[in-house]
Amino acid sequence: MALSSSRSWRYNVFLSFHGPDVRSSYLSHLRKQFERNGIITFNDQEIERSQTIKPELTRAIQESRISIVVLSQNYASSSWCLNELVEILDCKETGQIVMTVFYKVNPSDVRKQIGGFGKAFKETCQGKTETEIQSWTKALTYVANIEGEHSLNWVNEADLIEKIATDVSNKLNASLSRDFDGMVGLEDHLGKMKSLLHLENNEAMIIGISGPAGIGKTTIARALFNQLSFSFPLRYFMGNVKGSYRRTDCDEHGLKLRLQEQLLRKILNQKRMKISHLNVIYERLGNQKVLIILDDVDHLEQIIVTTEDQELLQQHGINNVYNVAFPSSEEALGIFCLSAFKQISPPDGFGRLAERAAELCSNLPLGLCVVGSSLLDKSLICISTNGDIQMHKLLQQVGTQEIKRQEPWKRHILIDPYEICDVLQSNTGTGTVMGISFDITEISKVSISKKTFRRMCNLRFLRVYKRRIDKNVEVHIPEEMEFPHGLRLLHWKAYPSKCLPPTFHPEYLVELNMQHSQLEKLWEGTQPLTNLTKMNLSGSGNLKEVPDLSNAKNLELLDLSGCMSLVEIPSSISNLHKLQELMMMFCINLEVIPEGLNLMSIETVNMVGCLRLRTFTPSFMSFNLRHIFLTRCEKLQSLPDIVSTELITLNVNGCQSLQRVPNCFHSTKVALNFTKCFNLSQEARKSIIQRSFLDGRKYVGTRSSNKWARLPGWACLPGNEVPAEFNHRAKGNSLTILPESSDKPLYASAIFKICIVISPKNKVGSNLPKIICLRMNKFVCSCPCYDFQVYNKISMSSVFAHLSTEHLFVFLYVLDQKDHSLGVLSEILFKIESGPNFEITECGAQMWTEETPALETIECGAEETENVDEGKSRRSFWSCLLLCCFIVCCIVIFAWGKKTIDF
């Protein structure tokens, strides 16, 4: 049994049969049924038959989970079949399952080797050794005693075949699993349980498994059932008896009937069995070999297998009880490590930590598994994608409790608001304090002393914040207040003064966060800001000027959103070579952006709601730029050319004065939102519609372009008619594309640029706006290929949610890799579906194939073309000059050589 549980089988079934009796009739139908049921059968048709069994046939028998012996009238006439049978029964001893089918032959004839079967057997035995005859006789006698199917008992042979296939499937499904392999201490438990069962006897027994919750009773019972079930023709594991059978809608007698019905249905495989009295289970199973395990029992009238109630076992006279003991310290550590580290012992450096965790779980197996699994691949401290250090809540609680246990004058971190308030007002801080996190929500008034921070010479971070924005708190600070020089983080929400103190030294400052402050300026002159990486002044409505940032060469984030008094950005930001994000949302008075900025690392520029901004400087156009947000910049008139090939988002929604846009948009990934841009020039509309996603052409015909399937590139702009360049057009939401001619076939590898007209219905609905493109090939079922509700739900919601007029929506359609194998098609049907609030009035498509002109042949702006032509002219001039020099040199060398020979 142990061997079969650890083996991997090559075949599900090996069939032993006499070919002339069954191959062309019964056996062929049985093989077909096995094939339909997904049962893998060894095929012996390519093996040449002989008197001795072939080695490959022996291997096939040994590598099959089940052997089915089809005993027919002439089965014993073949020494080949008899040798197969001997090998099959040898393999049965190592855990293989053997099934029998008596096909038009009496089992007693096989058992006693009489009748026509016996006559064939005697003829085969002529000239054989006594050893062979004895082994064959023993094998036939043994196999005839295995309970099997008799074809003579079946009126319909098809029903017999279906029954055999079902039995085989059930046996395969019930094969030994490896779910319990490697469980610490389990083998010892199973050995003790088997000793209580006395498997060598045929007596009926009831065994109890007792122990506290989480000790492993159910695990032991399931593992035992997994190992022993093959020894019992009838078996059933009923789990959670306590939870499944409660006395809520029936009395005690009815509860017993329900339990017996469930047992008999599962054991006898009869789904609609009904019983009327309690003796039915004895009548049906009284003479059978049955294994029943009931898990988690608590009612007295029920059969008990696993329970926490020791008295329940005694009341029912069950003396064979296995009390599950707690694992040893070593076993508990192994159980925890298997769940937490997927290995039996802790990794280097985690030994003491793992031992402590096992102790906290009191060595309870369930607790060890739950805690270990929850810690798998987890870290109590991690760094987020934006560089912030994140801490597990449990670790935060432990740290808070540890701080509170310290004496007040010894604390490195101050977090209690009343204690902090007292320290700041009475000037009792010490050099021990390294950090202050001050939540002023519960404080009504606080006055800070001028020299309150002087004694806190080691203060590294100062955080003052409110959890509730609507709570008014009076904070009074003197103009000459001295901040500590070594401060790394200053986070003061709603800072009450107009300027930071003149003695403020930001030399070591890494992050400055002064959201919603009353600041009008930060400081005078230039400060050493070489360590500063983040500056957030958002919501400071009175801020009139940004300080000189020429020394902030490591600044990565500058957030000036909501600084409504700000009119211009200082030219000193041109030195911010590492700046990645510039946030200036709702700077409603911002008019000027300096020219000549050299922001080579900039990735995101957000100027949403800058109502007076007229131009967007080309200085922002770095090669790394990924996101540009200019929504509701109502006076913005033009956009510069975009050099970045990494651009993902360009959102100029609501820029009603916008007229000019970049000549080309090369990225297939870019989302171009030009909704409500009603003053776009014809040239701008042409750039958006015709010259967007041009790089998608180079993927035409690529059969391994899986990463380019369902590309998210799209563009949206005002319009009520599909442009003429989309040569396939149709009214409504569906479009059929046919081959243009016999010499221009329709390839499945083509890329389509699709344009649709979206008309809002002016109806309020709860569903998110969405666009779904369904593509159907002729004679091929449809499959959803483009679904913005899945891939870009937020963007689509913001794009379509407030449309009041018709707009054009343009997007790329790229096939999945599997669709390339379709080859040439006779027809493609596109059907566009929208949400309930929108209607598709027209759609069109432009097809790109391998024959479509490449990107380089498409004009992408006059200036770009002129530059290319000028470059080609220069290259041609220098090529001709070099060629002429080469020819002259050859002539001179030839002439000099000729003179030398003449001389």
Give the pair of three-digit tokens for residue 723.
Answer: 């442009």
478-483 LR contacts (CB < 8 Å, sep 24+)? 478/448, 478/449, 478/450, 480/450, 481/448, 481/450, 481/452, 481/453, 482/450, 482/451, 482/453, 482/454, 483/453
- Is residue 550 within 8 Å of 568, Cβ to Cβ? no
| Residue (of 791, 812, 804) closest to 758 by Cα position | 804
Q: How far apart are CA 606 and CA 152, in angstroms?
A: 84
Report residue 776: phi and psi, to 5°.
-125, 125
Catalytic residue among 35, 63, 84, 474: 84
Asked whether the beta carbons of 519 and 542 are under 8 A apart, the reply is yes
Determine the Cα–Cα distance for residues 519 and 544; give it in Å rounded to an integer: 9
Structure tokens at 736: 């059929």
3-class state of residue 307 by DSSP: strand
**Facing residues of 747 across strands?**
824
Is the four-CA dihedral 217, 222, 224, 229 of positive or negative sign?
positive
Helix H, strand E, coil C: the string for 159-185 is: HHHHHHHHHHHHHHHCCCCCCCCCCCC
What angle, 0 to 180 degrees and rounded to 10, lies between the N-to-C axes of helices 329-340 and 365-375? 30
Q: Is residue 84 among the annotated active site residues?
A: yes
Give how far Cα 46 sits from Cα of 54, 57, 58, 79, Å. Answer: 12, 11, 14, 19
**Residue 653, Cα to own-chain centre: how many angstroms?**
33
What is d(CA 186, CA 200) in angstroms, rounded to the nearest whole number?
22
**Of 420, 403, 425, nearest in space to 412 by CA:** 403
* Dmax (CA) of the chain: 134
Instruction: Dump the DSSP string for 325-357.
Output: PPPPHHHHHHHHHHHHTSSSSPPTT-HHHHHHH
| Residue keyed to tokens 């079902």 | 166
Distance CA 53, CA 477 (A): 100
Render 783-837 in DSSP notation, one character per residue.
EEEEEHHHHSHHHHHHHHTT--S-EEEEEEE---GGGGGG-EES-EEEEEEE-TT
Question: What secondary structure does DSSP assign to 13-59, as a single string?
Answer: EEEE--HHHHIIIIIHHHHHHHHHTT--B---TTSPP-SS--HHHHH
Give the DSSP letter string of 763-786. Answer: ---SSPP-EEEEEEETTS--EEEE
Distance CA 522, CA 18 (A): 98
Q: What percent helix, strand, coil does the chain show, rounded to 5? A: 35, 20, 45
> How far is the first Cα of the chain from the last one, in angstroms, to the nearest whole number?
104
Measured CA to CA in angstroms, residue 417 lies from 398, 455, 665 at distances of 19, 19, 54
- 770 contacts 789 by C-beta, under 8 angstroms: yes
How far apart are alpha carbons 615 and 54 in whole angstroms? 87
Q: For residues 364 and 374, what is the distance between their CA atoms, to the nearest angstrom?
A: 16
DSSP letters spanning 624-672: T--EEE-TT-TT--B------S---EEE-TT-TT--B--S-B--TT-EE
Task: Check the CA dihedral 32-36-41-44 and report its sign.
Answer: positive
Q: Are the beta carbons of 183 and 368 closer than 8 angstroms?
A: no
Helix (H, G, I), strand (E, B) or coil at 559: strand
Question: Do 411 and 433 form a contact (C-beta atoms < 8 A)?
Answer: yes
Q: Residues with catalytic annotation? A: 84
